[in-house]
Chains A and B, each alone.
Chain A
Amino acid sequence: MIALRQGALEIRQFLRSREQVVFTMAFPVLMIVIFASIFDGEIGGGVRFTQYFVTGMIATGLMTAGFQALAIQIPIERDRGVLKRLRGTPMPPWVYFAGKVLMVAFIAVAETILLLVVATLLFDLELPSSGRLWLTFLWVAALGTTACTLCGIAFSSLARTGRSAPAVVTPVALVLQFISGVFFVFTSLPTWMQQVAAVFPLKWMCQGLRAVFLPGSFGAQEPGGSFELGTVALVLGAWCVLGLALCLTTFRWTTRRDG
């Protein structure tokens, strides 16, 4: 109950900071508009490029909401003493994390729906045709967002100050986007790059989403010869566990200066 309240408070704070709402929501939409306009042809077999790139944009949106946003926002809150103040109350620590998770979930859902609506209306995106595919969509997105959120909270302890957080986080996110098949067809990347990307969650989120938005026959073109949904679940699950462990062991409520 207290966690729901904390989540509602986080969401309310997000909705009231107008720039944040506009940029968070508009960014993936802007990207799909650019990509769908550049690559307006077919990827093969009567399937449009939009169908491929929308998976990368959804995955990027989820990673931005979970990983980047928290890894930047939490150090700022730490700097400003918000965390220290909460730490001085009887609030159970997990409530703070739960509030962030609910906020990320809210943003992720809103942003993904907006992206799908725009892509469907403007670029003839074909939505998943069966309940089974929607279910896959749901669990890949939920598991991927959870992994990114936990990693974002864990990563937030790395930046010394709120000011340095964007500099620490942005390159990591950008590199992952380039090597995970967000901006390019994944199999067109050098093999070593594919192998590096396979260690991190973003590649598997994209791949899981491709299983949803591309015809089943496209699975044969994946590096593993299929969409490997089992592996997707396994890797994303592993990152959830690792992220949670790091959150619980390394999270700092006060700045280093505070001791």
Chain B
Amino acid sequence: MSDAISVRGLRKAYGGTDAVSGVDLDVRPGEVFALLGPNGAGKTTTVEILEGYRRRDAGEVRVLGVDPAVGLSGGPAARAWRARIGVVLQGTGEFDELTVGEVVAHFARFYPGAEPAAAVIDRVGLGAKARARTHTLSGGQKRRLDVALGIIGRPELLFLDEPTTGFDPEARRDFWTLIRDLAAAGTTIVLTTHYLEEAEALADRVAVIAAGRVIAAGRPAELGGRADAAATVSWRTPGGGVERAESATPTALVAELASRYGGEVPGLTVTRPTLEDVYLRMIA
């Protein structure tokens, strides 16, 4: 099976300044792929080229086997391609005077194989709000409506641009469950986020973009040599202080501590660098 997204040597400059300078990416069908990177790193530009909103200056790009530049035309080829992708943008406008049900039902008519509006509204957890005008929704509820509009057409590929910004922790967990369900049903998902724990919880693979290039890509647990990195072992000393040691062989260290304390080691923790630690080191 060919890749859902394949990008080679993607370049884009604004007024002579490179925003994206040679990005290579592959997203496999059915995978959840997270794009990380600081603001201004070229993340949004890259994603908007993939979504068919922007022209590129150079590079080979295929999204579901189609050059996404087709999306700029609005013609029949663009519509056939758009019917297969779902896009959830950052902070897009609502239709203030319409109800949730009306908006979702209307968007359903744009797609040839749309899911029933009521089912999608339930799925994003807005069932109780179906008859509410969209301007009465909270920030998190609006975001769920955005997602409903993104998935109403049963997309093969779903783009989510910072989908959980402004969510409370519970809403974020609910949202993760929704994304996992979509992924389990075979939808390929490309996600940008500033929340590293979100990338870690959802993504099969992540790529870090900085200064217009992909500087690292891989499974979240292995990114930047994380799996092989030295672990930090900490424990409480009899005097009440906390002792810390970095070790490439933490198991041996713990075994030695266990024999030293004759069983339980008080306050024992063993940690590897978090995705956030690795990420911050990378973009520094």
B92 touches A9 (CB 8 A): no
Give the interface residue-count category, chain A: 20 to 34
| CB of A2 closer than 8 Å to a CB of B | yes
Q: Is A90 a contact of B89 with CB atoms below 8 Å?
A: no
Cα separation A79 to B94 with both chains bound (whole Å): 11
A80 interface residue (CB < 8 Å to B): yes
Consensus secondary structure, chain A interface = helix
Given contacts A9-B102, A259-B14, contact A89 B92 (CB under 8 A): no
Does residue A132 face the partner (Cβ distance < 8 Å to B)? no
| A88 interface contact, C-beta 8 A | yes
Query: In the assembly, what is the distance between CA of A18 and CA of B180, in Å?
Result: 42
Per-position 1/0 for A58-70, Cβ under 8 A of B = 0000000000000
The residue of chain B having its C-beta at the shortest distance from the C-beta of A254 within the complex is B53
B110 and A84 contacting across the interface, CB-CB below 8 Å:
no
A residues 37-96 with Cβ under 8 Å of B? Answer: 77, 79-82, 84-85, 87-93
Cβ contact of A2, chosen from B87, B109, B133, B149, cutoff 8 A: B109
B216 within 8 A of A: no
State whether B95 touches A82 (Cβ < 8 A): yes
Among A81, A89, A93, A254, contact of B111 (Cβ-Cβ < 8 Å): A89
Let me know if B89 and A81 touch, CB within 8 A: yes
Query: Do the beta carbons of A92 and B14 come within 8 Å of each other?
Result: no
Please, which residue of chain A has its CB at the minimum distance from the CB of B73? A93
For residue A5, CB closer than 8 A to chain B, the reply is yes
CB–CB B93/A80 < 8 A: yes
Majority DSSP secondary structure for residues of B touching A: loop
The CA-CA distance from A109 to B82 in the complex, in Å, is: 36
* Contact in complex: B54, A259 (CB < 8 Å): yes
User: With A and B bound together, what is the CA distance between A225 and B56 in angstroms?
Assistant: 58
Complex contacts, B79 vs chain A, CB 8 Å = 90-92
Contact of B95 among A13, A79, A89, A93 (CB under 8 A): A13
The yes or no answer to B80 lying at the interface (CB within 8 A) is: yes
**Bound-complex Cα distance A80 to B149 (A):** 16
**B215 interface residue per 8 A CB criterion:** no
Residue B255 is within 8 A (CB to CB) of chain A in the complex:
no
Q: How many residues of B contact A (CB 8 A)?
A: 33
Residues of B within 8 A of A16 (CB): 97-98, 133
> A12 touching B97 by the CB < 8 A rule?
yes
Interface pair B91/A81, CB less than 8 Å apart: yes
Could you mark each residue 249-266 of chain B with 1 if its beta carbon is under 8 Å from any beta carbon of chain A, else 0?
000000000000000000
Which residues of A1-28 are within 8 A (CB) of B?
2, 5-6, 9, 12-13, 16-17
Asked whether, in the complex, the Cβ of A13 is within 8 Å of the Cβ of B93, the reply is no
B74 beta carbon closer than 8 Å to chain A: yes
Contact A87–B102 (Cβ < 8 Å)? no
A9 near B98: Cβ-Cβ < 8 Å: yes
Q: A79 — which chain B residues lie within 8 A by C-beta?
A: 93
| B 40-69 to A, binary, CB cutoff 8 A, 1 in contact else 0 | 000001001001111000000000000000
Cα A9 to Cα B106 in complex, Å, equals 8
Indicate if the CB atoms of B93 and A85 lie closer than 8 Å. Answer: yes
Determine how close the nearest CB of chain B comes to the CB of A8; give it in whole angstroms: 9
Q: Which residues from 72 to 116 on chain B have a C-beta closer than 8 Å to any C-beta of chain A?
A: 74, 78-80, 82-83, 87, 89, 91-98, 102, 106-107, 109-112
User: Beyond A79-B93, A87-B53: 12 further Cβ-contacts under 8 Å?
Assistant: A9-B95, A12-B102, A13-B98, A17-B96, A84-B89, A85-B93, A87-B74, A89-B82, A90-B80, A90-B83, A90-B153, A254-B53
**Chain A interfacial positions (CB closer than 8 Å to B):** 2, 5-6, 9, 12-13, 16-17, 77, 79-82, 84-85, 87-93, 254, 258-259
Q: List 18 A-B contacts (CB under 8 A).
A: A2-B109, A2-B110, A5-B109, A6-B106, A9-B98, A17-B96, A77-B93, A80-B94, A81-B91, A81-B92, A81-B93, A84-B92, A85-B87, A88-B53, A89-B82, A90-B153, A91-B110, A259-B45
In order of increasing CB-CB distance, the 8 nearest A-B pairs are A80-B93, A81-B92, A16-B97, A88-B87, A82-B93, A90-B79, A93-B74, A90-B82
